[in-house]
A = this chain, B = another copy of it.
């Protein structure tokens, strides 16, 4: 295995890596066929035993993680990256609890979504089935390895994990512990596989493995997500970029608006559901802005304001540049603008939002109705913080990511979003008439 983080130095190495990734995908496809017909009992017992094994073998995990952390330090990784990388007994217990939570969730596989008897007597039903082989490309934190494996397995899928090279030793031990339990349960050893992580090309081979990989989900920063979505030829789900707005309407209650703004922006600044933009209706700006700017100042937030916001002033206000409206800061920064109307706010969000979460604060029921109908995003909050867009908060128990695209799944993705469907038709020798009935849209239909 090459230890360089560069592209493979020779064509032969590239070819070898490609074959390695495709071979893993082929084995995953075989494993997926067995996992697809595993009962819930089997899958839940598997997850519980995985949780126990992680706790029991915590010293192995921590020993490997110590090496990753030391290597990270040596490579000059920033302290917050080191913190994300680090595993301790508490974090391992947290991963184990996550698996137990997933074990307790309903099995999505086999759920009958629709069903009817057709006029000709054919019995038709649409049932949930696993997706098959799920690829996850992620950065940083090794707990994603366990979370993603638990969710994909519970939904009956095989998983190909492509983590960060900085966590390689930790991820390798984690996957080997999970795999030991998989094998103990008589399930295929290839159900959970870690792909080579030292070469960006392994991502490319994974996301172009059409016919072997059914979906790829990138989890990480905007750059990673965009690269995966643009280069993938297997279906990909865009996740997690959140340029979220809080719009304070003319008829907002000011105290409510302040509480929601501060919670949306400053509760945790590094998460995708944090607000990055404040829009204030001009009719309430004089009353609202001074208090908002002052409270944001107390919370350590720098405001990148338009002309009117800068005029309202304050030690934490700087003039916004054109880029600010499109920036997901993930820091103690927020862009802020005064808008002349609700439609102007909607238009601003349409131009700059990332389709994650948009909030309105208003006591006007017409404004609430208009905003929630016209704003196109995974989640629209009326008089609530953007921070609520989260699988846990939405009662899903767990999530694999937050989709910001419109196909397949939008918003927090739980277990049902990790499945596909299948139509089953039961007949008695039914054949179709030769008339031109039907609406068949085949090439020559």
A residues at B contact (CB < 8 Å): 33, 36-37, 84, 98, 116, 118, 122, 124, 126, 129, 131-132, 139-140, 144, 147, 210, 214-215, 219-221, 229-230, 233, 235, 237, 239-240, 242, 253, 255-256, 259-260, 262-263, 267-268, 270-273, 330, 350, 361, 368, 372-374, 376-385, 387-402, 405-408, 410-411, 420-432, 434, 437-445
B215 and A431 contact, CB distance less than 8 A: no
Which of A124, A253, A400, A429 has the most CB atoms of chain B within a 10 A radius of its CB?
Answer: A429
A124: chain B residues at CB < 8 Å are: 394-395
B425 and A392 contact, CB distance less than 8 A: no
A399: chain B residues at CB < 8 Å are: 439-441
The contact of A253 among B426, B429, B434, by CB within 8 Å, is B429
A439 and B397 contact, CB distance less than 8 A: yes
Chain A residues touching B, majority SS: loop
A144: chain B residues at CB < 8 Å are: 441
CB<8 Å pairs between A and B, sample of 12: A37-B374, A129-B376, A235-B235, A235-B405, A260-B431, A270-B443, A272-B445, A361-B429, A380-B425, A382-B426, A388-B432, A408-B408
A406: chain B residues at CB < 8 Å are: 131-132, 214-215, 235, 420
A264 CB, min distance to chain B CBs, angstroms: 8
A443: chain B residues at CB < 8 Å are: 139-140, 219-221, 240, 270-272, 330
B411 and A408 contact, CB distance less than 8 A: no
Report, nearest first, the 9 A-B pairs whose CB atoms are least far apart: A384-B427, A270-B444, A263-B431, A406-B420, A392-B438, A272-B442, A256-B429, A392-B439, A387-B432
Beyond A373-B37, A383-B426, A410-B420, whether A442 also contacts B270 by CB under 8 A is: yes
The contact of A445 among B271, B383, B407, by CB within 8 Å, is B271
Each complex incorporates copies of this chain amounting to 2
A396: chain B residues at CB < 8 Å are: 439
A381: chain B residues at CB < 8 Å are: 425, 427
A90 CB, min distance to chain B CBs, angstroms: 11
A260 and B429 contact, CB distance less than 8 A: yes
Query: CA A400 – CA B432 in complex, angstroms?
Result: 21
A84: chain B residues at CB < 8 Å are: 444
Query: CA A235 – CA B406 in complex, angstroms?
Result: 9
B394 and A440 contact, CB distance less than 8 A: no
A441: chain B residues at CB < 8 Å are: 144, 147, 219, 239-240, 391, 399-402
A378 CB, min distance to chain B CBs, angstroms: 6
B235 and A210 contact, CB distance less than 8 A: no
A380: chain B residues at CB < 8 Å are: 422-425
B392 and A36 contact, CB distance less than 8 A: no
A11 CB, min distance to chain B CBs, angstroms: 22
A182 CB, min distance to chain B CBs, angstroms: 20
Query: CA A389 – CA B424 in complex, angstroms?
Result: 10
A215 and B430 contact, CB distance less than 8 A: no
